[in-house]
A and B are shown apart, each in its own frame.
Chain A
Amino acid sequence: MASSTIPIQPVASRSQAFEYLTTKKDELVGWARKFSLFPYPFVTACCAMEFMAVSSSPYDTDRFGAALPRFSPRQADLLMVVGTVTHKQAPVLLKVYEQMCEPKWVMAFGVCATSGGFYQNYAAVLGIDRIIPVDVYVPGCPPRPEMVIDGIMQLQDKIARSRHPIVGRNF
C-alpha cells in the first residue's frame, strides 16, 4: 500500500535574503494583536445606531481587523461600551469586563460612556472609568464614524507600542 503522506520537502531557496528575518517579540505580538481585535459590543443606548453605521460597509471597521463582534465576553478582547451606563447596570458591566480574558482593552464609545455626558442625576454613571479602566475615549453625541475609526487606530497604536508578556513578566 502506497504511502499517502503529503510530499513536503525542503525547498532550496532562490534567494538567501528572505530565509529569516529578525524582529522584537513585543513588536511581532503587538502587530498580530492590533489587527485581530474581537469587539464585544456592550450597547445600551442610541450610540448603537452609530456603532452599526461604523461597522457596516461604508466605513467598515473590518479594514482594521475589528469587525467581528463576539457575543461572549470570553471570546472578546475589546470591550466597546456604547451608550449610557446606569448604576443599575454597573454590576453587569463589571461582570462582563471581568469575564474577558487578558489581553483586553476597553473603548468608551460616545460621551455618556466617556463622562456621563449631559447626565448628572440619580441614575447615570458619570463615565465608565469610575468602574473599569478605559484605554481609548471616543467623545461625541454620537461620535462620527471617522472619530470611531480614529479611536480604533489610536488603540492599535497603543497596542503596537505596548509590552506583550506571553509567558511571564520577562518574556
Chain B
Amino acid sequence: MAAPVLDLVQQRLAPAFGEAALAHGMLVVTLPPAALLDAVRLLKAEFGFDLFLDVTAVDWPGHAQRFEVVYHFYSTQHHVRVRLKTRVAEQDPTVDSLIPLYDAARFMERECHDMYGIVFRGNADLRPILLYEGFVGHPLRKDYAKDHEQPLVPYRK
C-alpha cells in the first residue's frame, strides 16, 4: 500500500528528472547524476523529506555505468521513504555532494567513498572514516579479493 503522497512525489519527479516506480511500497526514482541535486532539493522543500537516511552504492561489474549510487530519504512530515538511484561510470565515479542540503551527508559520503570509491563533488573531506590511512583500494567493490588483508601491525613469526 503506497501512501497517497508518494503519487504526488512520483508525478512531480518522474517527468522532469527520470523514471519512477513503486517497489515494496517504496517509491524508487532512477535519475541521471546531473539531476540529483535538483531532485533532492525539491523533495526536501516541497515534500518535507528532511531526514537523509543513507547513501550507499551497488557495484555492477561489466556494466557500462558500473556503479549505482543509492540514496534513501525519509519525510518526517508524511512518514514515507523514497529511494533515489543514479548510475556513474568506473572512469569517473563522481556525483554531487548533498552537504549543501544535509550536513549528515558529510560522514555517509565518506563511508561510501571508503567502500566503493565514489567521489562526491563538493565534499572536501573524503578521508577514510571506517578504513585507515594507507588502505589501498575499495573493499566492497566486486574486484576486491575477499581474503585480501592490509595489516597495520606486522604479523608474528
Contact = CB atoms under 8 A, between A and B. Distances in A.
Nearest to B154: A131
B102 interface: no
Nearest to B138: A122
Given A88-B131, A88-B132, A131 B156 contact: yes
Interface string A111-146: 000000000111101100111110000000000000
Contact of A90 (B135, B146, B148, B151): B151
A123 B139 contact: yes
Given A88-B131, A88-B132, A90-B151, A120 B156 contact: no
Interface of B, helix, strand, loop or mixed by DSSP? loop
Interface of A: 87-88, 90-91, 94, 120-123, 125-126, 129-133
Interface residues of B, number: 16
B153 A131 contact: yes
Given A87-B149, A88-B132, 7 more contacts: A87-B153, A94-B153, A120-B147, A122-B144, A122-B148, A123-B139, A133-B156
Contacts of A88: 130-132, 152
Contacts of B155: 130-131
